[in-house]
Amino acid sequence: MSVRVISRRIDARQVSIKMVDGSLIRGRVNIFHGEEVVQRVSDIFTKVSDPFIVVFDVTAEGKAGRVLIINKSNISWVSPEDDPVSQNGQEDDKPGDSRGSWIERMRSG
C-alpha cells in the first residue's frame, strides 16, 4: 500500500462573514485557487465559479477551530481583516505594502 502526499499551497486571508440569517463568522479563506486568477478575497466571489467557499480556523457560535463549507448565496457580506496570513500563521512582511481593513484605510485617508 502506498501513501500519496498531496500538498496544496495556502494563501490564507482572515475574514469576517455576515450570513443572511444574521450570524457572524470569523475565520480564514484560501485565496489560492490554482489556475484561476485570485489575488483578493473579493476575487473568490467574482472570479471563482464554485458556489461554495471553505472557511477554516472558524470562530462561530462560541466554538473555535472549525471548518465550514458555506454556500456563497447565503452570505450577506464579507470583510477582509488586516494582513494576509502565511501558511505558518504569521503575517506576511512586504515593505511599502500598506494593508489594513477597508474601514481603517477609509478612516486614515
Q: Is the pLDDT of residue 94 over 50?
A: no
**Amino acid at residue number 16:** S
Give the percent of the chain with pLDDT over 90.
39
Q: Is the pLDDT of residue 58 over 90?
A: yes
pLDDT at 62: 80
Sequence ranges of the domains in the chain: 12-83
- pTM, two decimal places: 0.66
Fold for 12-83, please state it: SH3 type barrels. (2.30.30)
Phi-psi region at 99: left, alpha or beta (left = phi > 0; alpha = psi -120 to 50) = beta
Round to whole Å and give the CA distance between 98 and 96.
Answer: 6
Among the residues of 7-96, which ranges form H helices? 41-46
Q: What is the mean pLDDT of residues 36-50?
A: 84
Q: Is the pLDDT of residue 107 over 50?
A: yes
